[in-house]
Chain A
Amino acid sequence: MFGKLQIKSSVHLLILGFVSMVVQIAILREYIVLFSGNELVIGISLFAWMVFTGTGTWIVRYIPQRLLTEMTFPLLLPAMSTLALASVWAAYNIRYNFFLPGRILDIPETVWIASLCLLPICLATGLSFGIMNRVICLHYNKNTTSFSYGIESLGAAIGGVTYYLAMASSNHNITIIRFVFILCILYGIIQINFRIRASILTFVMISTAGILLFITDIDLPAEQQLYAGQEILANEDTKFGNLVVTKSQEQINIYQDGTCTFFTNNIEDNEEKVHFAMLQHPHPQKILVISGGGSGMLKEITKYKPSRIDYVEENKAVIRNISRFTANMEDVINLHIFISDPRKYLTRTHEKYDIILIHQNEPSTIQANRFYTSQFFRLLKKRLNPTGIISFQVSATTGYLSENTLNILSIIHNTLKTSFNEVLILPGNKYNFIASEKTGITARIAGLYDIRSVTNEYVNPYYIDDELITSRSGEIMDAITVTGINRDEKPMLLYHQLSFFLSQFRIEIELFLGIIFFSLLIFIFLAGRNETGLFIIGFTSISVELLALIVLQTLLGQVYLYMGLFFAIYMAGLFLGSTKLYPFLSGYRNKKRLLFTGVLMVCIACVFLLYLGFLQNSLRSDWIIVSVLALIVAAVAVITGMYFSVSSMKITDPGNPFISKVYSTDLWGSAAGSLVSTCLVIPLFGLFSLAILLVATSLFMTIFYTFTKGG
């Protein structure tokens, strides 16, 4: 059935899909470290990746037909992998040679660096697909785009699974890209036609450039810049992100994704985190620490001689490195360490605690936001004794309550109030939240210190003035306004945290969101009729995929574990839909209407799932949640694959240069979907609204194809 070229091309496409997926994940993970990423940075990088890749495929139409030969195949993959190395090298060098040391980048800077560095590799990826596809089309004199799309998706599925299962746990991202480079060079050597001098010359040039980058310590000079004056003790990429341990003089610093999350001898912070809450309890015996215990909090807790300290940390690399490089967990008696997602732990444990201390990142990502929601606080309350107390901190300028800060404090306060009778905000170096069911929580910390038998360096009457702290706490509590509640399904805190982040750069969040929204409208407005459907289905399917991942993350907290699996399901669905299942549509006249009806059903299923999962709280079994989400993702991917085939088959002339535009449009739709969903709709309106938006969009398209011709 397959000709020699088609088999050869299939292998190329399969490897192309594999390589592009692996380098995409590896590069994006490096960029998160480089730009100290939050949701915006991730969204921007992913958006740039897909837009440029789509553009790469789109420009194939301008390449003269005589240049489109199978001779280019062995050159494309080595070129791509060389550019992947160059992309990381360039990003690191621009970041540290053109910007001041230690300074975070603002959004326009992130956009232009990410764009500049991703442009070559993404264009090469898109061009590779476009060229391979058109060569096959021209050779067989028929449109084989859906076949190419399917095989490339299959390669991407294999790449995604391979990355997460085999590579991510034990390797460095740059090592992964180097491995891919070797693979591509070897493949190029096997495939190249040594009789053609031009091919050999080009191959040698590409390989030389790649080898030069390969042997260069791409990230070492940059690392030395990033951690200037510090000795790097460990640097590993874990499934939760990059973890670096450095030593500056006697001080050990732990960086996660490029940001210093804690360091040794941080007396003020550790004492505030522990004693502001523990002094409130007359006899704290059972303590739960959720993340960050290694910073020195555990030693502070031992001052109360508790009978049990449970410490939950989701990243075992953190525990390993703290134990190896610091003494913060040595001699902590009655300590029990659990490597688990904190929410999972709270659901499963039967222990009841007197004090629960939480040390989580600021809620500027969906991952972190799940530790500030009403559902999380409800879980905490269930695990507290009746007089138990919880405590955590939020950073902000403590001397002045800006609108952003007040919004953040108000939302957290009001969300805590859904579970706890008493909530107190104590200003210290950060804002300390203390909540309990019992009455009598007080801001008079120095007074409490005098009656408890602990000795502190900082939280004591020498530093803490009860009158001043009571007065400032009172001012904050009086300023708290009526706001919405931060929920898993509506992470409104994320929006305000992003707004706070952008305000550092004097960027109004409304302006940022407005630009995204109107860019989207302009594209839809200018697109052709065939492209509109593709764009919207790309938009919808990636949004459903992201929705599924966020639901998974929120309900199970195991997104890293399942991400590879879900990528694989999605890509395999595209493969099946575009190559195997679309012929089943041959009997239907209005195929697009049928497919959009299918998407509509999937989106309605999403709404129903959210209703059961978040409002009814009736999805209690992990495997049911995973199975249903997997089914939803598979369904939307299969439909997208089929839709792609139906759209591409509209072009019957294999010489038509617009063939590649179909692929570009699908990618552009996906790019828009990823940015709009993660940066706009979810933070602003929540998961339900996103699902309803998707229902509305697919319903609109169904009606559109019902009342217009050409479906």
Chain B
Amino acid sequence: MNKRKFLKYCTLCSAAGLVDVGFNPSLAAITGRSFVPFIPEFPDEKLWKWSKEAACYVQTPRGLKCQVCPTACIVKPGELSACHTRLIHNDKLYTIAYGNPCSVHVDPIEKKPLFHFLPSTKSYSIATAGCNLACLNCQNWEISQVSPRETSNKDMMPEKVVSNCIENKCPSISYTYSEPVAYYEYCYETAKIAQLKGIKNVLVSAGYINEVPLRNLAKYIDAANINLKSFSNEIYEMLNGGTLDPVLRTLKVLKEEGVWLEITNLVVPTWTDDMDMIKKMCDWLVQNGFRETPLHFNRFFPLYKLKNLSPTPASVLEKARDIAHRAGISYVYIGNIPGSTGENTYCPKCKKLIIERKGFTILQNDLISGGCKYCKHPVPGKWK
């Protein structure tokens, strides 16, 4: 045997040995991690307990097209939709995000944030994995950018969500954390049952949804916080993987459907902190009947893929708030800055402090019958 052959045989033997060791469970014990490559719990085309035929889809010559959101995925067999929750089985479109939330918590309603809706109450909050956007700064990327089969989930069908909510003495259920549009069917069914039981439903969403499914869902939704991420189509495409117009339409539809609405705008340095853009956004809101809709400017923190930025300075949020006030928006708040007076509600008419907030607590409430105690000016909201 020459050297070259000797080396070849030894290399092959050691490779074979290492591969064998690599898949041996004893290695998992050594490293604390399994070496078995990721194997889905079921092949893409098969369903599981947490599947349900999708709500809105249509057969096209190119395949089945999902119609829930403007992404309009034509889902290929063996593949998932862009929101990671839909697949094809027996020529039908199914969701795999039904009754399997990965995040379940009880939160103060102010955390959503909703300041004019059932203040100082707790909301039973759920989310499954998946999202139809891909924001570079997503704070929940570990659940939003994966499919439900990659997360560890609870078994909680809609009826169970409602009974748990009642058990936890929460007056509302929030569909939040990831994106309720991605688990539309689960959200819809749960909201329907909750409404029958007298539980309010809260949608915390980016609002990237088509009109028909939104109108269907809105019948059961009592309040919504829509994250209007910017007022530029270009930024929406680059930062979030979406577009602006469908979100603006969502705001209008929710208002028409009588859903209590609050809007959040995350001010991201270099991306969405352009004051001219913020002014345009505020002008649009005023012109389209959202003068009385609470607007929350939130502070950005470097997260996920957008880590090479600084957090938003407090004064930038103050400037944005001033612009919104000058544009004519009555209720403008600042979020993610503890102790800021930007959490308080001031009467737009007499300018007096009517609701003093600190964190998730109301320190002083000078609302009487939904109006300012001092000048009687009505303050919109669902206060009880």
Contact = CB atoms under 8 A, between A and B. Distances in A.
B255 interface: no
B52 interface: no
B49 interface: no
A460 interface: yes
A472 B104 CA distance: 10
Contacts of A165: none
Contacts of B177: 399-400
A468 B106 contact: yes
A258 interface: yes
B45 interface: no
Given A100-B136, A250-B314, A504-B305, A529 B32 contact: no
Contacts of A499: 33
A317 interface: no
A652 interface: no
A474 interface: no
B42 interface: no
A263 B311 contact: yes
Contacts of A253: 310-311
Interface in B261-300: 268-271, 273
A478 interface: no
B364 interface: no
A529 B15 CA distance: 19
A362 B28 CA distance: 24
Contact of B338 (A263, A400, A458, A528): A458
Interface centre among A403, A472, A700 (most CB of B within 10 A): A403
Contact of A708 (B2, B12, B33, B310): B2
Interface centre among B106, B309, B359 (most CB of A within 10 A): B309
Interface string A262-290: 01011110010000000000000000000
Contacts of A700: 10
Interface in B326-382: 336-339, 358-361, 363
A259 B305 CA distance: 12
Interface string B86-121: 000000000000000011011110000000000000
A187 interface: no
A458 B339 contact: yes
Contact of B310 (A246, A404, A517): A246
A330 to B, nearest CB: 20
A104 interface: yes
B3 A226 contact: no
Contacts of A327: none
Contact of B270 (A102, A463, A496): A102
A354 B141 CA distance: 38
Interface string B217-241: 0000000000000000000001100
B103 A521 contact: no
A265 B31 contact: no
A226 B308 contact: yes
Contact of B139 (A260, A397, A483): A397
Given A102-B270, A708-B2, A708-B3, A248 B310 contact: yes
Given A267-B339, A529-B3, A529-B4, A521 B310 contact: no
Contact of A492 (B32, B37, B338): B32
B315 to A, nearest CB: 4
Contact of B3 (A461, A508, A517, A709): A709
Contact of A259 (B7, B15, B307): B307
Interface in A78-123: 100-104
B11 A525 contact: yes
A41 interface: no
B50 to A, nearest CB: 17
Contact of A468 (B2, B107, B314): B107
Interface string B1-36: 111101110111001001000000000001111010
B270 A529 contact: no
B359 A102 contact: no
B213 interface: no
Interface in A497-529: 499, 503-504, 506, 508, 510-511, 517-518, 521, 524-525, 527-529
Nearest to A483: B32
B307 A399 contact: no
Contacts of A246: 310
A251 interface: yes
A403 B8 CA distance: 39
Given A226-B308, A463-B360, A495-B31, A504 B2 contact: no
A700 B11 CA distance: 11
Given A397-B143, A461-B361, A472-B105, A260 B33 contact: no
A583 interface: no
Given A397-B143, A458-B338, A462-B359, A103 B11 contact: no
A250 B315 CA distance: 7
B195 interface: no
Contacts of A229: 269-270, 273
Interface residues of B, number: 65
Interface residues of A, number: 77
Contacts of A510: 35, 37
A345 interface: no
A230 B151 CA distance: 39
B11 A521 contact: yes
A333 interface: no
A596 to B, nearest CB: 14
A260 B310 contact: yes
A684 interface: yes
A431 B180 CA distance: 26
A386 interface: no
A555 B89 CA distance: 58
A521 B307 CA distance: 36
Given A399-B177, A496-B33, A521 B270 contact: no
A36 B339 contact: no
Contacts of B246: none
B120 to A, nearest CB: 11
A229 B310 CA distance: 10
Nearest to B8: A525
Contacts of B108: 465
A101 B270 contact: yes
A93 B283 CA distance: 37
B311 A400 contact: no
Contacts of A503: 142
A248 B31 contact: no
Interface centre among B38, B107, B152 (most CB of A within 10 A): B152
B78 interface: no
A267 B339 CA distance: 9
B308 A259 contact: yes
A260 B302 contact: yes
A336 B192 CA distance: 62
A266 B271 contact: no
Interface in A274-333: none
A464 B359 CA distance: 8
A226 B38 CA distance: 36
A411 interface: yes
A267 B4 contact: no
Nearest to B1: A708
Given A248-B316, A397-B140, 15 more contacts: A104-B306, A230-B310, A248-B313, A250-B315, A260-B308, A260-B311, A265-B313, A266-B311, A402-B152, A461-B361, A463-B338, A463-B359, A492-B31, A495-B33, A525-B7
13 contacts: A104-B308, A230-B310, A250-B314, A397-B141, A400-B140, A462-B360, A465-B360, A496-B32, A504-B305, A527-B7, A528-B4, A684-B31, A685-B30
Interface of A: 36, 100-104, 226-230, 246, 248-251, 253, 258-260, 263, 265-268, 271, 396-397, 399-405, 407, 411, 457-458, 460-465, 468, 471-472, 483-484, 492, 495-496, 499, 503-504, 506, 508, 510-511, 517-518, 521, 524-525, 527-529, 532, 684-685, 700, 704, 707-710
Leading 10 A-B pairs by shortest Cβ distance: A463-B359, A462-B359, A457-B339, A102-B309, A458-B338, A249-B313, A529-B3, A251-B313, A462-B358, A253-B310
